[in-house]
């Protein structure tokens, strides 16, 4: 089958298919995953290209793909195929590359294969691919790590079977409807009008569908239906494969921009201190140009979320590397004093948060606060000495040697970072009042946890005294503890 650009000129754009084209002569079955309709809008162009083998692509066509945005290549061929025809794009371009054979694996565990022959041998072969959970995990890890704003090209030998199954997973994850997914697969085996007539148009009995095309449509239809029946959704299938939710969301975000529920009805999109005239002008502009404002707001919001997630991950990785510690100037009057990390009510029944009656918890002497907000702040000038993957707890060391543990919730084992945002990282030095952790109280409730902040002095046994506040409520920055070192050990 020819290159998709040529097919567009010969037969018109495919349903849900991008009208743009890549004018290359040495590619096989090269097609976009952008332009498909979903309940949240069209899938995004320049994010995923599906293709047949690129082993014979010319330098000129490789440059076209580079200019299109291709920066990573996922090769689904078997090891013998790769040896016989090595990936040429790696020789011609500076791209990241991964080979994940969809067929080089143990076929003993086939949860979806029914053995009833439904869909023919093709469907059974596809079920074997979907049973290769290790390959699926590798694939989605690679796709989720692609550089923001770039395009990933994935291919097999002909760009039809293995590539078609991965396309089904990606389009299904984006919410593309069933018929369009079946058609995307079938375009590899027939002309566009022929496929569209077989799938989208009601048959009047006059149009004959080739047996080979009908077999292909039946096979992918059986695979799609059985996957949804078995797992409930594409997300459910990927979860069973062991693909982390964070990777699923990153891949979905690359392919699909979610529309805001209301583009310009919320005061949050206008600065609260904006003048009445500014607000009026904004809403008039939004009323007259709703589509543009929707797109603009959605684009900037999506970019902000993406950049924030990448910045957080970079900081998390960086935090484990040694670097020079910074000593910040501290008011001498604040030495030996610990201040409230959150506003709220101090818990008087300490046992309700797994603390003993003398306020000596499992990690030392401390206090617990039922917070009014959803952010905790540094209780003094300190260095962050420890962090958890759950991102709901931090270890702190004050500049006079007091060791602290601050945590949100009471069971850190239950969290995997979901619902928490960490603002400062291990080995960072922060001043009193610096935001440390924000969280979604609703997710705590869903996990059966109390919305509570605990602050413990973990080396209290080394101190001469710890005096805790007797206040019932505190504001951020209120004094909640004073510590004294043993005589001769003042820091």
CATH code of the domain in which 346 resides: 2.70.70.10
**DSSP line for 353-381:** GT--TTSEETTEEEEEEEESSSEEE-SSS
Residue range of the domain that includes 464: 332-485
- Furthest CA-CA distance within the chain: 100
Examine the domain organization and report whether 113 and 40 are in the same domain.
yes
Examine the domain organization and report whether 109 and 200 are in the same domain.
yes
pLDDT tens figures, 299-314: 666 667 667 766 766 6
SS3 129: helix
Examine the domain organization and report whether 352 and 454 are in the same domain.
yes
323 inside domain? no
Residue where the block lists tokens 């040896």: 83
400 inside domain? yes
Counting DSSP H helices and E strands in the chain, the numbers are: 15, 22
**DSSP line for 164-179:** HHHHHHHHHHHT--HH
Res 355 pLDDT > 60: no
Q: What is the mean pLDDT of residues 453-481?
A: 91
pLDDT tens figures, 435-464: 999 988 877 777 777 889 999 998 888 888
pLDDT tens figures, 356-380: 333 334 456 889 999 998 999 999 9
Q: How far is CA 250 from CA 113, 174, 265, in A?
A: 30, 11, 27
| Residue 349, pLDDT score | 44
| Residue 391, pLDDT score | 84
Q: What is the mean pLDDT of residues 320-341?
A: 74
Q: What is the mean pLDDT of residues 410-435?
A: 76
pLDDT tens figures, 181-194: 999 999 988 888 88
pLDDT tens figures, 111-137: 554 444 445 778 888 998 999 999 999
Q: Domain boundary residue among 208, 226, 255? A: 255
262 inside domain? no
User: Which positions ≥6 away from 180 have C-beta within 8 Å?
Assistant: 15, 16, 36, 37, 171
326 inside domain? no
Highest mean pLDDT of the ranges 148-152, 169-173, 214-218, 482-486:
169-173
Examine the domain organization and report whether 234 and 104 are in the same domain.
yes
Sign of CA dihedral 332, 377, 307, 384: positive
Q: Domain boundary residue among 265, 293, 318? A: 318
Among 304-313, 339-348, 387-396, the range scoring the smallest mean pLDDT is 304-313
| Residue 285, pLDDT score | 62
Q: What is the CATH number of the domain that holds 194?
A: 3.90.190.10
Highest mean pLDDT of the ranges 15-24, 35-44, 139-148:
139-148
Give the Cα separation of 253 and 170 in Å (integer).
Answer: 11
Q: What is the mean pLDDT of residues 80-108?
A: 82
267 inside domain? no
Examine the domain organization and report whether 245 and 364 are in the same domain.
no
Res 397 pLDDT > 80: yes
Q: Nearest-CA neighbor of 452 among 365, 324, 341?
A: 341
Examine the domain organization and report whether 222 and 340 are in the same domain.
no
Examine the domain organization and report whether 345 and 418 are in the same domain.
yes
Res 348 pLDDT > 80: no
401 inside domain? yes
Res 319 pLDDT > 80: no
SS3 74: strand
Give the pLDDT band (50/70/90) at residue 419. Answer: confident
Examine the domain organization and report whether 68 and 153 are in the same domain.
yes
Q: Judging by DSSP bridges, how do beta strands 453-457 and 31-32 pair with one another?
A: unpaired
Examine the domain organization and report whether 224 and 284 are in the same domain.
no
Res 5 pLDDT > 90: no
260 inside domain? no
Q: Please provide the distance, in angstroms rounded to a whole number, between the alpha carbons at the two ends of the chain.
A: 77
Among 76-85, 205-214, 230-239, the range scoring the smallest mean pLDDT is 205-214
51 inside domain? yes
Say how many domains are in the chain: 3
The radius of gyration of the chain's CA atoms, rounded to the nearest angstrom, is: 29
The two three-digit tokens of residue 369, written as one number? 């606060």
Examine the domain organization and report whether 342 and 426 are in the same domain.
yes
Give the Cα separation of 336 and 401 in Å (integer).
Answer: 9
Q: Kindly report the length of the chain.
A: 491
Residue where the block lists tokens 């617990």: 368
Give the Cα separation of 160 and 49 in Å (integer).
Answer: 13
Examine the domain organization and report whether 299 and 214 are in the same domain.
no
Q: Nearest-CA neighbor of 305 among 479, 460, 421, 151?
A: 421
Q: Domain boundary residue among 223, 255, 287? A: 255
Specify whether the CB–CB gap between 360 and 460 falls below 8 A: yes
Strand order from edge to edge, sheet including 375-377: 375-377, 435-439, 420-422
Q: What are phi and psi of 172, to 5 degrees?
A: -65, -40
Give the Cα separation of 178 and 175 in Å (integer).
Answer: 9
Examine the domain organization and report whether 336 and 307 are in the same domain.
no
């Amino acid at each position: 089958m020819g290159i998709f650009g040529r097919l567009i000129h010969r037969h018109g754009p495919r349903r849900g298919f991008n009208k743009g084209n890549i004018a290359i002569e040495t590619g096989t079955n090269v097609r976009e995953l952008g332009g498909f309709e979903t309940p949240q809008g069209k899938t995004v162009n320049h994010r995923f290209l599906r293709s047949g083998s690129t082993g014979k692509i010319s330098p000129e066509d490789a440059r076209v793909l580079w200019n299109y945005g291709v920066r990573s290549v996922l090769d689904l061929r078997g090891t013998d195929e790769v040896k016989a025809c090595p990936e040429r794009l790696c020789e011609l371009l500076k791209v990241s590359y991964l080979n994940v054979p969809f067929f080089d694996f143990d076929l003993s565990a086939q949860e979806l294969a029914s053995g009833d022959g439904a869909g023919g041998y093709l469907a059974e072969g596809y079920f074997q691919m979907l049973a290769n959970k290790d390959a699926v995990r590798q694939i989605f890890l690679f796709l989720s790590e692609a550089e923001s704003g770039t395009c990933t090209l994935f291919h097999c030998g002909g760009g039809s079977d293995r590539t078609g199954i991965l396309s089904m997973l990606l389009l299904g994850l984006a919410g593309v409807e069933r018929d369009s997914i079946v058609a995307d697969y079938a375009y590899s085996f027939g002309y566009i009008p022929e496929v569209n007539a077989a799938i989208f148009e009601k048959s009047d009995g006059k149009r004959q569908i080739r047996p080979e095309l009908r077999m292909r449509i039946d096979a992918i239809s059986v695979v799609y239906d059985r996957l949804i029946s078995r797992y409930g959704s594409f997300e459910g299938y990927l979860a069973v494969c062991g693909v982390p939710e964070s990777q699923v969301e990153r891949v979905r975000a690359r392919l699909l921009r979610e529309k805001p529920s209301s583009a310009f009805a919320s005061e949050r999109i206008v600065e609260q201190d904006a003048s009445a005239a500014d607000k009026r002008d904004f809403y008039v502009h939004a009323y007259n140009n709703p589509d543009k404002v929707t797109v603009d707001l959605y684009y900037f919001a999506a970019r902000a979320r993406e950049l924030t997630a990448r910045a957080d991950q970079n900081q998390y990785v960086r935090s484990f590397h040694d670097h020079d510690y910074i000593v910040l100037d501290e008011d001498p009057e604040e030495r030996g004093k610990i201040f409230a990390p959150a506003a709220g009510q101090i818990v008087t029944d300490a046992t309700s948060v797994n603390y003993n009656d003398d306020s000596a918890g499992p990690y030392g002497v401390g206090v617990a606060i039922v917070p009014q907000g959803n952010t905790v702040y540094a209780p003094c000038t300190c260095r962050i000495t420890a962090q958890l993957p759950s991102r709901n707890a931090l270890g702190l060391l004050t500049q006079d040697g007091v060791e602290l543990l601050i945590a949100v919730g009471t069971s850190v084992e239950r969290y995997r970072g979901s619902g928490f945002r960490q603002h400062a990282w291990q080995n960072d030095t922060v001043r009193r009042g610096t935001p440390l952790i924000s969280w979604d109280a609703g997710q705590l409730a869903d996990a059966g946890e109390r919305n509570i902040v605990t602050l413990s002095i973990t080396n209290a046994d080394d101190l001469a005294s710890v005096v805790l506040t007797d206040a019932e409520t505190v504001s951020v920055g209120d004094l909640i503890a004073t510590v004294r070192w043993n005589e001769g050990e003042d820091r």
